[in-house]
Amino acid sequence: MELYLITGFLGAGKTTFLREFVRQFAGKRLRLIINEFGKTGVDGTLLQDVNAALAEITNGSIFCACRLDKFEEELHRCIADGPDIVLVEASGLADPTSVQTILGRPEFSAIQYRGSVCLVDTPRLERVLHTARVCPKQLMVSSLVLLNKTDLATGEQLLAAEAAVRERNPEAVIRQTSFERFHPDWLGDIHPLGGTALTEQPDIRLQKQLILLDPSMTVSQLESALRLIAEDSWRIKGFARLEGRRLLVDCVGPAVRVFDTELEAEQENELVLLAGPGMPLRKTVKQAVQWYPWLIREVWE
């Protein structure tokens, strides 16, 4: 069986890309392993209708010692099940430089590692490269780097993004795309690169938080609260059921996005927040709670 790794920083578009990427393997048996850093999984729900067996690993990176055992368990299940293709969507906060070390063990010899593709949020790349230590490492292990969201980027941002990728990975093939589109010819650009270091410790500077929403909150109030918080976060995501509507919350940086959805989630009215070192997330969330004390409750992880 063959294994492909999908990586990229928070909000780059990995989950939507994965829905597109699976089309390259029509007629083959697929197994997906979805990794989310927060305790509450969201991406697995968004991929429910994909024709593939699916497993989620939450609350940490699968390449860190804290969740490596869960990843190994899923790899053993893959070997027992025998799919043709295994697709791994790593957390946006994952350091994947140990992937070949893990898959190179004799116990996983039945799995052929085919390589990694890295999605880049082109307009935000410069910022995250300087605030997230894992972002350069995701670029380093990927033979194919997709500059995504080019429709939102200026010509200067495109040139800067390509130069930043080249500086960190001269071997990578760089493609430009929008809306997570993938051209079938690009499959040949994916192949293994180097990378052997095992990450034993998580980045303790990362800020994680869970906030709970009262069902009496209105959608307008939710959007107003998110606008207070989003500027000081990397990512906010989760599901809500308010005013009789099922909603998907998916904020990337200051961009607040709340969509109607037909998906039914196990956890509703719970939002996961992630921010980097030095970002005033805690102060900002406390301010939002003060504005809406009867509607929002913060839960620190």
CATH among 3.20.20.140, 3.30.1220.10, 2.60.40.10, 3.30.70.3420 for 207-300: 3.30.1220.10
For 30, the 3-state DSSP assignment is: strand
CATH of 2-189 given 1.10.4080.10, 3.40.50.300, 1.20.1440.230, 3.40.50.12280: 3.40.50.300
Residue intervals in the chain for CATH 3.40.50.300: 2-189
Confidence of residue 128 (pLDDT cuts 50, 70, 90): confident
Tell me what pLDDT residue 1 has: 95
Structure tokens at 268: 């509703």
Residue-wise pLDDT for 38-64, tens only, equals 554 455 554 665 767 888 888 778 887
Is the model's pLDDT at 277 over the cut of 90?
A: no
Quote the tokens at residue 230.
């989003």
Q: Where in the chain is the domain with CATH 3.30.1220.10?
A: 207-300
194's CB contacts (< 8 A; 6+ apart) are 100, 141
Residue 272's nearest CA partner among 100, 93, 130, 21 is: 93
Please write the tens of the pLDDT for every residue from 159-209: 999 999 999 999 999 999 999 999 999 999 999 985 444 344 444 457 888
First to last CA, the chain: 37
Query: Would you say the pTM of this structure is higher than 0.85?
Result: no
Does residue 67 or residue 174 have the better pLDDT?
174
Structure confidence at residue 2 as a pLDDT band (50, 70, 90)? very high
List the one residue out of 283, 292, 232, 221 whose CA is nearest residue 258.
Answer: 221
In tens, the pLDDT along 134-166 reads 888 899 999 999 999 999 999 999 999 999 999
CB of 8 closer than 8 Å to CB of 114 = no
Residues 157 and 91: their CA atoms lie apart, in Å, by 25
